[in-house]
Amino acid sequence: MELSTYLPYLVNRLGQRFVSEITPALNKAGVNIQSWRVLIALYQGGKQTVGDLSELTSINFSTLSRVLDRMEDKNLARRQRGADDARSFTVILTSKGKAVTEKILPYAKDLEVLATSDFTEAELNKLRELLSKLYIGLGSGNKVKERMAG
Amino acid sequence: MELSTYLPYLVNRLGQRFVSEITPALNKAGVNIQSWRVLIALYQGGKQTVGDLSELTSINFSTLSRVLDRMEDKNLARRQRGADDARSFTVILTSKGKAVTEKILPYAKDLEVLATSDFTEAELNKLRELLSKLYIGLGSGNKVKERMAG
DNA sequence: TGAAACTATTTGATACTGCAAATAAATAGT
DNA sequence: ACTATTTATTTGCAGTATCAAATAGTTTCA
């Protein structure tokens, strides 16, 4: 049993460390890690339904519902009844939400630059590629959960 | 601004997806994601103080304190007053803790295998290497936080 | 040696998360 | 059209996380 070969372990500890490194800076801007992810998803992907956002961010939909409540309270985003399907809500960044996102995006980039000072450009690209590929592989669209349950 | 090049974003979404994929299986064994991390850290690293565990797992120390309470309730680990320094506590896996860890370790491996079916062996190794390197780079031993604050 | 400064951990208060149940709207079958 | 089923989202509740303050033990140094 050599744990350093366990990808889930490596990914998880890295993710946790990243979160604890970036959280203080985000908090100063009144944003927590979940709303950071939602802001980014909206900033990048444009308006989306709550469900799409939940899928995209992997934030549990009831958690997300409340994250959105808080973001609306802070005037970062707002919900709009779906025009075609009135069960759904479309979530939209407000202009304040856009501004805040643009303010905090550099934090992540700064952190990346500091953390990767001894990476070559090729390594960085490879890592990005493999992280994306693994993300896809882990996708909730596949049979992972079903097989794990057995 | 092309977000798919933001390493923190890539790492974080992957980490979140991993957590939501593995959590159900862990819960069946009465373990949540934080205690999973503590179990692994103890299983791999042997007994450690609460502070060392907090550093190693990046779990906030007051959170960890309560995680350990629950683990003690479930007889997975126990705390022992430090022999040399009575301020500290040494945390030790119980035999039940060891058994549970050995039971649940395969879940992570299974998930890895399923998620990486189209990775070559070379890609897997490269990814492990780069994840470890990034983890080090992000280490709280460096100047990241201080610089981010400015 | 004893008060000040420091370190390790816990606790109080409050906010956040996530399961399961509830609500609300759309769709299907009759 | 009408009930049953399905889908999108929210809410109740119980558990979990985190900041700041409190506690408890140690080191420093006059």
Quick: pLDDT tens for A37-51: 999 999 999 899 999
**How would CATH label the architecture of B3-143?**
Orthogonal Bundle (1.10)
Report the protein residue whose CA lies nearest the C1' of nucleotide D27. B85
Mean pLDDT, each 10-residue run in order, chain B (150 residues)? 81 89 89 94 93 93 97 96 93 96 92 93 96 87 45
Rounded Cα distance between B99 and A19, Å, is 30
Residue B115: its pLDDT value, please? 92
State the Cα–Cα distance between residues A94 and B38, nearest whole angstrom. 40
The DSSP-derived string for B71-129 is HHHTTSEEEEE-SS-TT-EEEEE-HHHHHHHHHHHHHHHHHHHHHTTT--HHHHHHHHH
Distance of CA B36 to the CA centre of its chain: 7
* Least CB–CB distance from B148: residue in A19, A107, A149: A107
| CATH number of the domain located at residue range(s) A3-141 in this protein | 1.10.10.10
Query: What Cα–Cα distance (Å) separates residue B109 from each residue in A89, B57, B132?
Result: 38, 19, 17
pLDDT in tens, B13-51: 899 888 888 998 898 888 999 999 999 999 999 899 999
A131 touching chain B per CB within 8 A: yes
How many angstroms separate the CA atoms of A114 and A117, rounded? 6
Question: Which nucleotide is closest, CA of B79 to its C1'?
Answer: C9
Res A65: pLDDT: 97
Give the C-alpha separation, B54 to A146, whole Å. 33
A18: its two tokens: 């990243």
Residue numbers in chain A where pLDDT is lower than 70: 1, 140-150
Domain ranges of chain B: 3-143
pLDDT at site A149: 44
